[in-house]
Amino acid sequence: MDGAALQNKTQSDTKREAVIRVRHLTNQFGEQVVHDNLDLDVWRGEVLGVVGGSGTGKSVLLRTIVGLNKPKSGSIEVLGVDVLNGPEEERQRIEKSWGVAFQDGALFSSLTVLQNVMAPLREHTGISEKLMAALGGLKISLVGLPQLSCSKFPSELSGGMRKRAALARALSLDPEIVFLDEPTAGLDPIGAAAYDDLIGELQHALGLTVFMVTHDLDSLYAICDRIAVLAEKRVLVEGPIEGMTKVDHPWVQEYFTGPRARAAQQKGQDR
Ligand SMILES: Nc1ncnc2c1ncn2[C@@H]1O[C@H](COP(=O)(O)OP(=O)(O)OP(=O)(O)O)[C@@H](O)[C@H]1O
Protein backbone atom coordinates (compact mmCIF):
# COMPACT_ATOMS: atom_id res chain seq x y z
CA MET A 1 0.00 0.00 0.00
CA ASP A 2 1.43 3.42 -0.86
CA GLY A 3 1.11 6.56 1.24
CA ALA A 4 -1.84 8.03 -0.64
CA ALA A 5 -3.79 4.77 -0.47
CA LEU A 6 -3.19 4.48 3.26
CA GLN A 7 -4.31 8.06 3.78
CA ASN A 8 -7.46 7.59 1.68
CA LYS A 9 -8.33 4.44 3.57
CA THR A 10 -8.05 6.05 7.02
CA GLN A 11 -10.00 9.13 5.95
CA SER A 12 -12.85 7.17 4.45
CA ASP A 13 -12.99 4.87 7.49
CA THR A 14 -14.03 7.67 9.78
CA LYS A 15 -15.64 10.96 9.02
CA ARG A 16 -14.07 13.17 11.61
CA GLU A 17 -13.64 16.86 12.22
CA ALA A 18 -10.27 18.35 11.35
CA VAL A 19 -9.32 20.75 14.17
CA ILE A 20 -6.11 21.64 12.32
CA ARG A 21 -6.08 21.88 8.54
CA VAL A 22 -2.79 22.72 6.84
CA ARG A 23 -2.84 23.25 3.08
CA HIS A 24 -0.07 23.87 0.53
CA LEU A 25 2.33 24.98 3.25
CA THR A 26 5.74 26.12 2.06
CA ASN A 27 8.51 27.09 4.47
CA GLN A 28 11.82 28.34 3.21
CA PHE A 29 14.88 29.75 4.99
CA GLY A 30 17.14 31.43 2.44
CA GLU A 31 17.76 28.82 -0.24
CA GLN A 32 16.61 25.95 1.95
CA VAL A 33 13.07 24.75 1.28
CA VAL A 34 11.91 22.88 4.37
CA HIS A 35 8.26 22.29 3.42
CA ASP A 36 6.95 22.31 -0.12
CA ASN A 37 3.18 22.18 -0.54
CA LEU A 38 2.65 20.29 2.69
CA ASP A 39 -0.90 19.20 3.61
CA LEU A 40 -1.98 17.84 6.97
CA ASP A 41 -5.21 17.28 8.88
CA VAL A 42 -5.35 16.69 12.61
CA TRP A 43 -8.59 15.13 13.81
CA ARG A 44 -10.47 16.15 16.93
CA GLY A 45 -9.58 14.03 19.94
CA GLU A 46 -6.65 12.18 18.44
CA VAL A 47 -3.03 11.91 19.48
CA LEU A 48 -1.06 12.53 16.30
CA GLY A 49 2.61 11.57 16.35
CA VAL A 50 4.70 13.63 13.92
CA VAL A 51 7.88 11.79 12.95
CA GLY A 52 10.61 12.11 10.35
CA GLY A 53 14.35 12.20 9.98
CA SER A 54 16.38 14.93 11.62
CA GLY A 55 15.89 18.27 9.87
CA THR A 56 12.71 17.27 8.01
CA GLY A 57 10.91 20.21 9.57
CA LYS A 58 8.84 18.72 12.39
CA SER A 59 9.54 21.56 14.82
CA VAL A 60 9.18 24.15 12.07
CA LEU A 61 5.73 22.72 11.29
CA LEU A 62 4.69 22.94 14.95
CA ARG A 63 6.10 26.46 15.28
CA THR A 64 4.32 27.54 12.08
CA ILE A 65 0.94 26.24 13.25
CA VAL A 66 1.22 28.09 16.58
CA GLY A 67 2.34 31.32 14.91
CA LEU A 68 6.02 31.36 15.88
CA ASN A 69 7.20 31.03 12.28
CA LYS A 70 5.76 32.82 9.29
CA PRO A 71 5.61 30.53 6.25
CA LYS A 72 6.34 31.56 2.69
CA SER A 73 2.89 30.44 1.53
CA GLY A 74 -0.01 28.16 2.32
CA SER A 75 -2.95 28.22 4.69
CA ILE A 76 -3.53 26.98 8.23
CA GLU A 77 -6.91 26.72 9.91
CA VAL A 78 -7.21 25.90 13.58
CA LEU A 79 -10.74 25.20 14.80
CA GLY A 80 -12.01 26.82 11.63
CA VAL A 81 -10.00 30.04 12.07
CA ASP A 82 -7.48 31.16 9.46
CA VAL A 83 -4.49 31.67 11.77
CA LEU A 84 -2.21 33.13 9.08
CA ASN A 85 -4.43 35.70 7.45
CA GLY A 86 -7.55 35.95 9.62
CA PRO A 87 -8.46 39.00 11.70
CA GLU A 88 -6.13 39.65 14.64
CA GLU A 89 -8.88 39.35 17.28
CA GLU A 90 -9.90 35.93 15.91
CA ARG A 91 -6.25 34.85 16.09
CA GLN A 92 -5.91 36.01 19.66
CA ARG A 93 -9.10 34.21 20.62
CA ILE A 94 -7.98 30.96 19.00
CA GLU A 95 -4.54 31.12 20.65
CA LYS A 96 -6.28 30.46 23.96
CA SER A 97 -7.54 27.14 22.55
CA TRP A 98 -4.10 25.61 22.46
CA GLY A 99 -1.18 25.05 24.79
CA VAL A 100 2.40 24.32 23.82
CA ALA A 101 5.08 22.43 25.77
CA PHE A 102 8.53 22.78 24.23
CA GLN A 103 11.27 20.21 24.49
CA ASP A 104 13.29 21.97 27.20
CA GLY A 105 10.17 23.20 28.97
CA ALA A 106 10.90 26.84 28.08
CA LEU A 107 9.77 27.84 31.56
CA PHE A 108 10.53 31.32 32.90
CA SER A 109 13.60 30.71 35.06
CA SER A 110 12.91 33.62 37.41
CA LEU A 111 9.37 32.43 38.20
CA THR A 112 8.32 29.58 40.44
CA VAL A 113 6.46 26.61 38.97
CA LEU A 114 3.13 28.01 40.18
CA GLN A 115 3.92 31.46 38.76
CA ASN A 116 4.86 29.83 35.46
CA VAL A 117 1.57 27.96 35.32
CA MET A 118 -0.33 31.12 36.27
CA ALA A 119 1.38 33.20 33.54
CA PRO A 120 -1.07 32.39 30.70
CA LEU A 121 -4.01 32.98 33.07
CA ARG A 122 -2.53 36.37 33.95
CA GLU A 123 -2.05 37.22 30.28
CA HIS A 124 -5.38 36.04 28.94
CA THR A 125 -7.93 36.27 31.77
CA GLY A 126 -8.98 38.89 34.25
CA ILE A 127 -9.48 36.50 37.15
CA SER A 128 -8.30 37.23 40.70
CA GLU A 129 -4.85 36.29 42.00
CA LYS A 130 -6.44 33.85 44.43
CA LEU A 131 -8.40 32.05 41.71
CA MET A 132 -5.34 31.99 39.44
CA ALA A 133 -3.31 30.35 42.20
CA ALA A 134 -6.07 27.80 42.86
CA LEU A 135 -6.39 26.90 39.17
CA GLY A 136 -2.60 26.79 38.79
CA GLY A 137 -2.33 24.42 41.77
CA LEU A 138 -4.99 22.21 40.21
CA LYS A 139 -3.07 21.93 36.93
CA ILE A 140 0.10 21.12 38.85
CA SER A 141 -1.72 18.25 40.59
CA LEU A 142 -3.21 17.13 37.28
CA VAL A 143 0.23 16.49 35.78
CA GLY A 144 1.30 14.51 38.83
CA LEU A 145 3.62 17.03 40.46
CA PRO A 146 3.54 17.34 44.25
CA GLN A 147 2.18 20.61 45.64
CA LEU A 148 5.54 21.39 47.19
CA SER A 149 6.91 21.86 43.67
CA CYS A 150 4.66 24.96 43.34
CA SER A 151 7.21 27.15 45.10
CA LYS A 152 10.27 25.70 43.36
CA PHE A 153 12.11 27.39 40.52
CA PRO A 154 12.67 25.47 37.27
CA SER A 155 16.38 25.06 38.10
CA GLU A 156 15.37 23.18 41.26
CA LEU A 157 13.43 20.51 39.33
CA SER A 158 14.55 17.33 37.58
CA GLY A 159 14.26 17.19 33.78
CA GLY A 160 11.13 15.05 34.01
CA MET A 161 9.52 17.41 36.54
CA ARG A 162 10.32 20.38 34.30
CA LYS A 163 8.53 18.65 31.42
CA ARG A 164 5.49 18.08 33.64
CA ALA A 165 5.56 21.71 34.78
CA ALA A 166 5.67 22.79 31.12
CA LEU A 167 2.68 20.54 30.47
CA ALA A 168 0.80 22.08 33.43
CA ARG A 169 1.45 25.51 31.94
CA ALA A 170 0.28 24.30 28.51
CA LEU A 171 -2.96 23.14 30.17
CA SER A 172 -3.54 26.30 32.18
CA LEU A 173 -6.20 27.77 29.88
CA ASP A 174 -8.05 24.45 29.45
CA PRO A 175 -7.01 24.15 25.81
CA GLU A 176 -8.65 21.92 23.23
CA ILE A 177 -5.31 21.23 21.52
CA VAL A 178 -1.90 20.55 23.05
CA PHE A 179 1.32 20.74 21.06
CA LEU A 180 4.25 18.76 22.44
CA ASP A 181 7.75 19.01 20.99
CA GLU A 182 9.71 15.84 21.74
CA PRO A 183 8.14 15.45 25.18
CA THR A 184 10.07 12.34 26.20
CA ALA A 185 13.49 13.38 24.86
CA GLY A 186 16.09 13.15 27.60
CA LEU A 187 13.91 11.09 29.96
CA ASP A 188 14.95 7.65 31.16
CA PRO A 189 12.71 4.82 29.84
CA ILE A 190 10.65 4.64 33.03
CA GLY A 191 10.16 8.41 33.12
CA ALA A 192 9.29 8.42 29.43
CA ALA A 193 6.72 5.64 29.86
CA ALA A 194 5.18 7.48 32.83
CA TYR A 195 4.97 10.66 30.74
CA ASP A 196 3.31 8.73 27.87
CA ASP A 197 0.78 7.31 30.33
CA LEU A 198 0.08 10.80 31.63
CA ILE A 199 -0.54 12.16 28.13
CA GLY A 200 -2.77 9.20 27.29
CA GLU A 201 -4.78 9.66 30.50
CA LEU A 202 -5.16 13.41 30.08
CA GLN A 203 -6.11 13.06 26.44
CA HIS A 204 -8.79 10.58 27.40
CA ALA A 205 -10.08 12.47 30.45
CA LEU A 206 -10.04 15.96 28.93
CA GLY A 207 -10.84 15.04 25.32
CA LEU A 208 -7.67 16.78 24.16
CA THR A 209 -6.30 16.75 20.65
CA VAL A 210 -2.55 16.19 20.88
CA PHE A 211 0.00 17.14 18.20
CA MET A 212 3.22 15.49 19.28
CA VAL A 213 6.58 15.77 17.55
CA THR A 214 8.62 12.78 18.63
CA HIS A 215 11.44 10.41 17.82
CA ASP A 216 10.28 8.01 20.50
CA LEU A 217 8.94 4.77 19.01
CA ASP A 218 7.67 3.68 22.41
CA SER A 219 5.43 6.77 22.54
CA LEU A 220 4.16 6.11 19.03
CA TYR A 221 3.11 2.58 19.91
CA ALA A 222 1.82 3.48 23.37
CA ILE A 223 -0.40 6.50 22.79
CA CYS A 224 -0.57 7.71 19.19
CA ASP A 225 -3.78 7.13 17.25
CA ARG A 226 -2.15 8.15 13.99
CA ILE A 227 1.27 8.97 12.69
CA ALA A 228 2.27 11.64 10.16
CA VAL A 229 5.64 11.01 8.55
CA LEU A 230 7.54 14.04 7.27
CA ALA A 231 9.84 13.30 4.34
CA GLU A 232 10.60 14.88 1.01
CA LYS A 233 9.44 18.27 2.31
CA ARG A 234 5.86 17.14 2.93
CA VAL A 235 3.71 14.71 4.88
CA LEU A 236 4.69 11.61 3.00
CA VAL A 237 2.11 9.41 4.70
CA GLU A 238 -0.36 9.62 7.57
CA GLY A 239 -2.32 6.87 9.22
CA PRO A 240 -2.37 4.34 12.05
CA ILE A 241 0.98 2.90 13.03
CA GLU A 242 0.01 -0.61 11.92
CA GLY A 243 0.02 0.51 8.28
CA MET A 244 3.45 2.13 8.39
CA THR A 245 5.41 -1.08 7.84
CA LYS A 246 3.66 -1.45 4.47
CA VAL A 247 4.71 1.96 3.17
CA ASP A 248 7.20 1.66 0.37
CA HIS A 249 9.77 4.29 1.34
CA PRO A 250 13.32 3.66 2.59
CA TRP A 251 13.19 5.91 5.67
CA VAL A 252 9.73 4.65 6.69
CA GLN A 253 10.82 1.05 6.21
CA GLU A 254 13.99 1.49 8.21
CA TYR A 255 12.26 3.39 11.01
CA PHE A 256 9.18 1.19 11.39
CA THR A 257 10.64 -2.25 10.72
CA GLY A 258 14.05 -1.94 12.40
CA PRO A 259 14.93 -3.71 15.67
CA ARG A 260 13.98 -0.68 17.79
CA ALA A 261 10.52 -0.60 16.19
CA ARG A 262 10.02 -4.30 16.84
CA ALA A 263 10.99 -3.86 20.49
CA ALA A 264 8.68 -0.84 20.85
CA GLN A 265 5.81 -2.74 19.24
CA GLN A 266 6.29 -5.61 21.67
CA LYS A 267 6.37 -3.20 24.62
CA GLY A 268 3.20 -1.51 23.34
CA GLN A 269 1.42 -4.87 23.19
CA ASP A 270 2.61 -5.74 26.71
CA ARG A 271 1.25 -2.52 28.27
N1 LIG B 1 14.69 30.09 12.07
C2 LIG B 1 15.34 29.34 11.19
N3 LIG B 1 16.21 29.89 10.32
C4 LIG B 1 16.87 29.13 9.41
N5 LIG B 1 16.74 27.80 9.30
C6 LIG B 1 15.90 27.20 10.14
C7 LIG B 1 15.15 27.92 11.14
N8 LIG B 1 14.40 27.05 11.83
C9 LIG B 1 14.66 25.83 11.32
N10 LIG B 1 15.55 25.91 10.31
C11 LIG B 1 16.04 24.79 9.51
O12 LIG B 1 14.92 24.05 9.08
C13 LIG B 1 15.22 22.65 9.06
C14 LIG B 1 14.16 21.89 9.85
O15 LIG B 1 14.33 22.18 11.21
P16 LIG B 1 13.46 21.49 12.34
O17 LIG B 1 13.98 21.98 13.65
O18 LIG B 1 12.01 21.68 12.07
O19 LIG B 1 13.81 19.97 12.12
P20 LIG B 1 13.26 18.70 12.90
O21 LIG B 1 12.60 17.80 11.92
O22 LIG B 1 12.43 19.13 14.07
O23 LIG B 1 14.65 18.06 13.35
P24 LIG B 1 15.11 17.26 14.67
O25 LIG B 1 14.42 15.94 14.61
O26 LIG B 1 16.59 17.12 14.47
O27 LIG B 1 14.73 18.08 15.87
C28 LIG B 1 16.63 22.51 9.62
O29 LIG B 1 17.52 22.33 8.53
C30 LIG B 1 16.87 23.82 10.32
O31 LIG B 1 18.23 24.18 10.28
State residue 169's pLDDT score. 94
State residue 64's pLDDT score. 97
If you measure from the C-alpha of residue 244 to the centroid of ligand 1, how many angstroms do you get, rounded to a whole number?
A: 24
Counting ligand 1 atoms within 8 A of each CB, the residue from 25, 29, 72, 179 with the most, and so the one to mutate, is 29
Q: What distances in angstroms separate CA 153 from CA 8, 110, 130, 156, one per listed residue?
A: 48, 7, 20, 5
If you measure from the C-alpha of residue 103 to the centroid of ligand 1, how many angstroms do you get, rounded to a whole number?
A: 14
First to last CA, the chain: 28
If you measure from the C-alpha of residue 34 to the centroid of ligand 1, how many angstroms do you get, rounded to a whole number?
A: 8
Give the whole-angstrom CA distance, residue 208 versus residue 200.
Answer: 10
Give the whole-angstrom CA distance, residue 104 versus residue 195.
Answer: 14
Atom 13 of ligand 1, nearest CA residue: 55
CATH number of 3-97+179-270: 3.40.50.300
State residue 222's pLDDT score. 87
Alpha carbon of residue 220 to chain centroid: 12
State residue 172's pLDDT score. 94
For the CA of 61, the closest atom of ligand 1 is: 18
For the CA of 56, the closest atom of ligand 1 is: 21
Pocket of ligand 1 (CB under 6 A): 29, 34, 52, 54-60
For the CA of 69, the closest atom of ligand 1 is: 1
Alpha carbon of residue 175 to chain centroid: 12
pLDDT below 50 — which residues of the chain?
A: 1, 5, 9, 11, 13
The type of residue at 223 is I
Give the whole-angstrom CA distance, residue 78 versus residue 91.
Answer: 9
If you measure from the C-alpha of residue 135 to the centroid of ligand 1, how many angstroms do you get, rounded to a whole number?
A: 35
Domain ranges of the chain: 3-97+179-270, 101-174
Q: What is the ipTM of this complex?
A: 0.97
Task: Specify the pTM.
Answer: 0.89
